[in-house]
Amino acid sequence: MYGLLGEKLGHSYSKIIHEKLGYEYELIEKRADELSSFILDGNFDGLNVTIPYKKTVMQYCEHLTPLAQRIGAVNTLYFDTSGLIGTNTDYEGLRFNLERAGIDLSGRKVLILGGTGGAGSMARILSEDLGAREIVIASRGTYSQNKLPDTPTEDRISSNISFVAYDDLPQDAEIIINATPVGTYPNITDSPADLSDFDNCVGVCDLIYNPLRTELLIQAKELGIRYTNGLPMLVRQAAAAAEYFHKATSAKAGIFLDRTEAVLSELLNETENIVLIGMPGCGKSTIGKILAKKTGRNLKDTDKTIREMTGRTPAEIITSYGEEEFRRIESEAVLSLSREHSLIIATGGGVIMREQNVRLLKQNGRIFFIDRDPDKLSTYNRPLSQNGGVFRIYRERFPVYSAVSDERVENNGRSFAPCADKILRIIGT
């Protein structure tokens, strides 16, 4: 049996990833008082280990690899002739992630947010190994300047490592690695830092992968800074763990590592939301239904979500309370849907007029602009589009639709199926 050992694993992608690598894999939730007997019984072939047990499991290992000893944490357990071995493949995952994104730490000043935990310690060690000029660790605690917390006694702080409080982050940092949970699901609007304060920043790595694009990474993209989320790291460390799990039966070394990009692409396509934007009456809901039927995904419509929340239609809310109140309610619906994965989201026509809505939709979604000529748009039961307003609104919104979308797809035919098929081709389904 192979699996992931942790306390709460409800949102884990590990089972999906490992089974895409070609073998059965389980999510194993254990309380702290159950951990010892489970490991000592040894009824498993290999395990990945996650929070809060990465340090605890070290005491049960007959042998720790030098890398696991340096990091002070184990995320992979496997057996060899000497017994249970503990190692750490997160190091390989992060190294791969940085290289894939073109983020070079050599000679750079690296700021690690949350650098005293397991992930932060791993990021520190990798930064040292990759030749960082200076490493600054942001911490909420105060630590001795000659000893890192929870690491072997011989692991002294190098002269190029320093600690700072979050209120005193170095604004000349060139690389930022976020090893904190700030910005993760469900608190997807949070960010651990404001990148506009870092004029020298050329690379941002956020170890979070849910959402796919945190507020920190969206800001990095807007500022033209190289960036990456934690998903490539997650897949690569799983592939590296699989090499340890199956080394006795693998036909050749590297067969799981070679699958990294393919698994990453499959996982991204399956989890990223398909977000449909465009004018009222352009066909978003109909196209969404076609896509849902062909992909098996759930379709969520922001207008229907609003009706579920309020008991009123958008038209009724606008007529009774005005457009501003409707937009406020619409933003609540967008926030709720943006936290989810693998959805098809059909949005209201004006959802993109609030920047925060766009940022939320981008966190877990790929945005498709369904463009239909204004003379073909239905205005029935759409108060803002009636009395010729549809042409004015189209002129106002077209530049915004174009700017915020990842893809523009024309939908001027009588049948909406060709538009849906084009979207499927784009996403590779």
C-alpha–C-alpha distance, residues 271 and 366, integer Å: 10
Catalytic residues: 54
C-alpha–C-alpha distance, residues 315 and 325, integer Å: 12
Question: In Å, what is the CA distance from 102 to each residue of 29, 105, 173, 281, 283?
Answer: 36, 10, 17, 42, 39
- Give me the residue spans of the domains in the chain: 2-87+235-255, 92-229, 272-427
**Among the listed residues 150, 144, 210, 223, the one whose alpha carbon sits nearest the alpha carbon of residue 183:** 210
CB atoms under 10 Å from CB of 165, counted, come to 11
Q: What is the pTM of this model?
A: 0.88
Residues 15-26, buried b or exposed e (16+ Cβ, 10 A)? bbbbebbeeebb
Crossing angle for the helix pair 314-321 and 323-338, to the nearest 10 degrees: 140
- Coil, helix or strand for 249? coil
**Among the listed residues 352, 341, 328, 359, the one whose alpha carbon sits nearest the alpha carbon of residue 280:** 352
Quote the pLDDT of residue 148: 52
Quote the pLDDT of residue 27: 96
Question: In Å, what is the CA distance from 212 to each residue of 81, 135, 228, 346?
Answer: 40, 26, 9, 19
Quote the pLDDT of residue 247: 83
What homologous superfamily does CATH list for 92-229?
NAD(P)-binding Rossmann-like Domain (3.40.50.720)
Domain 272-427 has CATH 3.90.550.10: no
Quote the pLDDT of residue 327: 93
Quote the pLDDT of residue 380: 55
- Same CATH fold assignment for domains 2-87+235-255 and 92-229: yes
Q: What is the mean pLDDT of each run of 10 residues along the chain (429 residues)?
A: 93 93 96 95 94 94 95 94 94 97 98 85 95 93 50 55 93 97 92 97 96 96 97 97 82 83 94 96 95 96 95 92 94 95 95 95 97 82 57 92 96 94 90
**Among the listed residues 12, 7, 11, the one whose alpha carbon sits nearest the alpha carbon of residue 237:** 12
Quote the pLDDT of residue 158: 65
- The C-alpha angle 238, 241, 244, rounded to 5 degrees, equals 155
Fold of 2-87+235-255: Rossmann fold (3.40.50)
- Strand ranges, E, within 226-362: 226-228, 273-277, 298-301, 343-346
Quote the pLDDT of residue 119: 87
